[in-house]
Amino acid sequence: MEHALDITLTVNGTPVSRRVEARQHLVDFLREELGLTGSHVGCEHGVCGACTVRVDGEIVRGCLMLAVQANGCKVDTIEGLSDSKEVGELQRAFHERNSLQCGFCTPGMLMAARDLQLKNPAASREQIRAHLSGNYCRCTGYQAIVDAIEEVLHGKS
Amino acid sequence: MGKAELPLHAPGTRVDKGYIGQSVPRPNAKRLLQGRGAFVDDLRFPRLAHVAFFRSPHAHARIKRLDFGNALKSAGVIDVFDGRAVAEYCTPWVGVLAHLKGIKSPPQHAIAIERACWQGEAVAAVVAESRTQAEDAVDLIDADWEELPAVLDMDEALSGRCVIHPELGDNICFKREHDTGGVDEAFAKADLVVEETYRFGRHTGVCLEGRSILADYNAAEHTLTVHHSTQAPHMMQDVFSRHLGIPEANVRVIARDVGGSFGIKVHVYPDEMATAALSVMLRRPVKFVADRLESFLTDIHAREHKVTIRLACSKDGEILAFDLDDLSAIGPYSVYPRTSGIEGNQVVNLTGGPYKHQKYRAKLNVVFTNKNVTCQYRAVGHPIAVALTEGIVDLAAQNLKMDPAEFRRRNLIPDDAYPYTFPSGVKFEKLSHHQCLDQLLGLMNYASLRKEQADLRGRNIFRGIGLAAMIEVTNPSPAFYGVGGARISAQDGATLRLEPTGMVTVMCSVTEQGQGTEGIFAQIAASAVGVSMDKVRVITGDTGVTPYGGGTWASRGAGIGGEAVLLAGRALLSNILDVASKVLNLEKETLDIENNAIVDKLTQEKKMPLEELGRITYFRPDILPLDFQAELTVTRHYTPREYAFTFTNGIQASLVEVDTDTGFVKLLKHWCVEDSGTVINPMLVDEQLRGGVAEGIGAALYEECLYSPEGQLLNGNMADYVVPMSGEIPDIVCAHIETPTRQSQLGAKGVGEAGTAGAPGAVMNAINDALAPLGARVTAMPFTPERILRALGRIA
């Protein structure tokens, strides 16, 4: 394998070591090498947000970061946040309000929503919309997503 | 023995034993929320090969030479094929239908042979161990081209000065003329004639999941299993069988989770056919997932139209006639098997649809060009017909100085006029335009919005209110495709099975793309049988498992598939009660199922849990009478046939504010009142409307596939092709009138396309209402800031 490097990182709390091509994106690494297919590939140029994952506490585009750049990092994906129940309240609200249709954008959307919940739990409806502006949803028209996040942040129902 | 005739429902018993009309969350959404769905690209197969396509860089060019030498030597490459090699395994197709008289199109191959007719058409396929390696090798293909003249402008195409397919004689794919007679007379006697030309930008669906296919050929069995992100598994089973020469029974198409479709994934794509052929050729599974750049170049586009419309009316505001001339361009091929003539045909069928005029004339020309192909995208033709109709109606009202809501009230078909035949020939079973208009005006507080608008204008704030009434094709009968010779089923089926544990398994031929099909089928099945929803499992999207059917398109899932589930559920209930009657030694007519148990119909006294009935039926049938055989699996089908289409109606309103310095439009609010018959799940219906409105807003304000004069797509990526994001879409208020169709027991009509159908017209009218005091008007979608500033005379 040309231009391959050894990396070690923590994914959803589990240490993993692999030899990866230097050009491999983080999201391709997660999907192809680790079988974590919950992070989706929607555009591969950093616009749609379907591949959003969390690296050392910050949400990033998995298609704009290389796997080798995650060497030594702590990476969280939707599978990990689901099992730890960290996004359980958001998932419940999304489910009850049907804040997803095809579900392709949903893992990335939940990642962005959780990020807002951690950083600005008092966010207004406009701030919620602004925070989601990097996550593309073609099915819902966004309103139910905004409603669900608002409910979780402010306890509205 | 005369059995006692019991009343269907004794006084005091609960008639509605179910979930219909309730906003139940979708059970199948939970896996998607955890990232544990199964989209095609999530599947893992041994010996999986990956294909990447070498695509034409030119809009129209002869392939002089293709050299695969370097590509074949590239790491991981399994093989490289040109069009001739693939054509030996996959026959070409022609996208025509007999009922679109005169429609023509040349044969189209999976991989182009000799000539490419649009930028992005696949001309070679590289198969490798990984997609990355396949893409590396694509870059090493050496090609010589002879560029040919490209026809890109619609009028130029119509002129026939340069013919794309010389064997066809001209560039006209399809034309239609419709005339009720009396149109010229109506215009001659009219007090007011208004005329305007509207342009619609070519745009596309942008499913977040690209087109995806994994074809797995088994040479030993001569079977082909295709995991496909598709809306129509049975249609694709027929197509793969027919063009790959594999018996239909040997082809299985599986569509599990589909990441958005919107009509994009109901067509036959050459690169997908090539992928299936490559699996046969290489005797191993082969996968193709369109990346985003390929999606923009090759997913069907839609809606490139230029239409001149005239309206004649009296001074009292009575519409007398519409006269329409539509020119539309579809790329170099009519798309198989639905054809690219349907969209324009729908414009002719639907323009003027809500109104009671009797004179109508329409002319349609559908022409070939050297851009990507166009075909049916969500709401097919409706957004154009609605915007045309509602735009010219507003212009007439403005000329008469009449309020646009009042103008509509005078012209909408009365709610008691049904059944009704519209001048284009389409028939309406029962619509509710006036109820919807009244509800909308109340919901949005129309009068006070008008007052606020007038007050704000005094402060140089330009707000506009736009209305768009509409009709919509749903629940299509075989008249849509079948009568034209397409092997596309208008019928759907559902199988229901009571399991030994008392669970009910539902298998239905309508597919799920996130709209909630499986959820409403669970609601209907649970209600019909008498079990709770947690006892129901729904399986869709597998030709090897479900009954035969059409799948998901034309807002047909709930109305057709849902009716099949209801009929099967009632039949299963009856069969379960036959067993219960034998086991309990009670008359069947005294029994019912409530809350997962056999009960006495009158007293609701619990007689036996369903799991006990299941246990006896499957494991102890020895205790049942010798002359009795239990049948706890039933299948029922449904096809609407009384009307060609079950039309729905609705009306939308948009409130916008136009910044006259920047040309930006801010959407403040959107309202939608829709009559889709029986509402099975109000939450899901509202979400269909909202999602549809969002796509319609995209068409009105942002989305257009822009081509250079040479035929190069200029904005084929997500950064440059702008779609609505969370900050742009306003809150959308939904309300319903329910006029159930009498054709079915369920009474449901479709709703999936209504939002997309009406929103562009409503937004256009709102913008023009805002611009009216400034003497400006826009008629070319999308309404970009540049176009608005030009209309205002702010830029040249």
pLDDT tens-digit series, residues B440-497: 999 999 999 999 999 999 999 999 999 999 999 999 999 999 999 999 999 999 999 9
What's the mean pLDDT in A93-102?
A: 97
Domain covering B40-148+208-298 in this structure, CATH number = 3.90.1170.50
Most B CBs within 10 A among A138, A151, A157, hence the mutation to make, goes to A138
Domain covering B491-638 in this structure, CATH number = 3.30.365.10
**Chain A / chain B CB contacts < 8 angstroms:** 169
Q: Which of the four pLDDT bands, split at 50, 70 and 90, describes residue B8?
A: very low
Surface of B (703-722) touching A: CB under 8 A? 717-719
The domain segmentation of chain B, as residue ranges, is 40-148+208-298, 301-478+642-791, 491-638
Compute CA B224 distance to the chain's CA centroid, rounded to the nearest angstrom.
Answer: 27
> Is-contact B682 B516, C-beta < 8 A?
no
Chain B contact present for A33, CB below 8 A: no
> Is-contact B118 B56, C-beta < 8 A?
yes
pLDDT tens-digit series, residues B305-361: 999 999 999 999 999 999 999 999 999 999 999 999 999 999 999 999 999 999 999
> Is-contact B560 B59, C-beta < 8 A?
no
Report how far residue B95's alpha carbon sits from residue B239's, in angstroms, rounded to the nearest whole number: 12
pLDDT tens-digit series, residues B495-550: 999 999 999 999 999 999 999 999 999 999 999 999 999 999 999 999 999 999 99
Of B613, B651, B653, the residue nearest B630 (C-alpha): B613
The vertex-B786 CA angle with B780 and B787, nearest 5°, equals: 25
The chain B residue lying nearest A38, using CA atoms, is B35
pLDDT for B16 beyond 50: no
Chain A contact present for B683, CB below 8 A: yes
pLDDT for A110 beyond 80: yes
pLDDT tens-digit series, residues B626-652: 999 999 999 999 999 999 999 999 999
pLDDT for res A127: 97
pLDDT tens-digit series, residues B220-262: 999 999 999 999 999 999 999 999 999 999 999 999 999 999 9
pLDDT for res A2: 66
Q: What percent of chain B has pLDDT over 70?
A: 98
Surface of B (501-530) touching A: CB under 8 A? 513-516
- A78 → closest Cβ in B35, B260, B726: B35
The chain A residue lying nearest B24, using CA atoms, is A96
Considering the four listed CATH numbers 1.10.3720.10, 3.10.20.30, 3.40.50.150, 3.30.360.10, the one that applies to the domain covering A4-81 is 3.10.20.30
> Is-contact B300 B376, C-beta < 8 A?
yes
pLDDT for A112 beyond 50: yes
**What 3-state DSSP class applies to B355?**
strand
The chain B residue lying nearest A103, using CA atoms, is B32
Residue with tokens 């009296």: B314
Q: Which of the four pLDDT bands, split at 50, 70 and 90, describes residue A157?
A: low
- B690 → closest Cβ in A95, A106, A140: A140
Closest chain B C-alpha to A59 CA, distance in angstroms:
16
Report how far residue B468's alpha carbon sits from residue B391's, in angstroms, rounded to the nearest whole number: 8
Closest chain A C-alpha to B187 CA, distance in angstroms:
42
Please judge whether B260 and A110 are an interchain contact, meaning their C-beta atoms are less than 8 angstroms apart.
Answer: no
Q: What percent of chain A has pLDDT over 70?
A: 97
Please judge whether B33 and A100 are an interchain contact, meaning their C-beta atoms are less than 8 angstroms apart.
Answer: yes
pLDDT for res B6: 36
pLDDT for res B17: 54
**What 3-state DSSP class applies to A10?**
strand
- ipTM of this predicted complex? 0.98
The chain A residue lying nearest B511, using CA atoms, is A102
What's the mean pLDDT in A40-44?
A: 97
Q: Is B219 exposed, middle or buried (0-12, 13-18, 19+ CB in 10 A)?
A: exposed
pLDDT for res B2: 38
pLDDT for B419 beyond 70: yes
Of B569, B476, B557, the residue nearest B517 (C-alpha): B557
Please judge whether A141 and B693 are an interchain contact, meaning their C-beta atoms are less than 8 angstroms apart.
Answer: yes
The domain segmentation of chain A, as residue ranges, is 4-81, 87-154
pLDDT for res B18: 85
Please judge whether A77 and B292 are an interchain contact, meaning their C-beta atoms are less than 8 angstroms apart.
Answer: no
pLDDT tens-digit series, residues B545-572: 999 999 999 999 999 999 999 999 999 9
Architecture of domain B301-478+642-791: 2-Layer Sandwich (3.30)
The residue length of chain A stands at: 157
Report how far residue A111's alpha carbon sits from residue A54's, in angstroms, rounded to the nearest whole number: 7
Q: Which of the four pLDDT bands, split at 50, 70 and 90, describes residue B4?
A: very low
Which chain A residues are within 8 Å of B261, Cβ to Cβ? 102
> Is-contact B362 B183, C-beta < 8 A?
no
Instruction: Write the CB contacts of B63 (distance below 8 Å, at least 6 apart in sequence).
Output: B112, B113, B114, B115, B116, B123, B143, B144, B145
Please judge whether A103 and B29 are an interchain contact, meaning their C-beta atoms are less than 8 angstroms apart.
Answer: yes
Closest chain B C-alpha to A72 CA, distance in angstroms:
25
pLDDT for B11 beyond 70: no
Backbone angles phi, psi at B339, to 5 degrees: 75, 160
> Are the folds of B301-478+642-791 and B491-638 the same?
yes
pLDDT for B15 beyond 50: no
Instruction: Write the CB contacts of A147 (distance below 8 Å, at least 6 apart in sequence).
Output: A97, A99
pLDDT for B10 beyond 50: no
Please judge whether A78 and B34 are an interchain contact, meaning their C-beta atoms are less than 8 angstroms apart.
Answer: yes
- A141 → closest Cβ in B30, B684, B729: B729
pLDDT for res A86: 98
Residue with tokens 């039933």: B634
Q: Which of the four pLDDT bands, split at 50, 70 and 90, describes residue B3?
A: very low
Chain B contact present for A82, CB below 8 A: yes
pLDDT for A155 beyond 90: no
> Is-contact A12 A76, C-beta < 8 A?
yes
Chain A contact present for B136, CB below 8 A: no
Please judge whether A139 and B260 are an interchain contact, meaning their C-beta atoms are less than 8 angstroms apart.
Answer: yes
What's the mean pLDDT in A56-81?
A: 98
Q: Which CATH class is domain A87-154?
A: mainly alpha
